[in-house]
Amino acid sequence: MTQGDLASRIGMSVNAVSSWELGKSFPPKESINLVCEAFGIPESYLMLACLEEKDVPEEKRAVYRALIDPLKNILLEKGDEK
């Protein structure tokens, strides 16, 4: 999906979507559900994708590093693939 496709589906500008993708801003709360619907994912998946190591308490970062990539991969697999 292109930035233009997503912007059109959720009623936002391409510039806004580009800014989100570049990490310069985050979608407004009202748009998060629309973004998730466009990608067919629950909001919790988007929140997980936005979690960064710096957001995790230092004493828990080793666990974060060990689990984040495998967890993202599992959650984002297509449901019909096993």
Domain extent listing, the chain: 1-41, 51-82
pLDDT in tens, 4-15: 999 999 999 999
Please tell me the distance from the alpha carbon of residue 36 to that of residue 20, in angstroms, as a whole number: 14
pLDDT of residue 59: 95
pLDDT in tens, 17-57: 999 989 899 888 889 999 999 988 888 888 887 888 999 99
Angle between helices 61-76 and 43-50 (to 10 degrees): 140
pLDDT in tens, 57-79: 999 999 999 998 888 888 777 55
Query: Is pTM, for the whole model, over 0.75?
Result: no
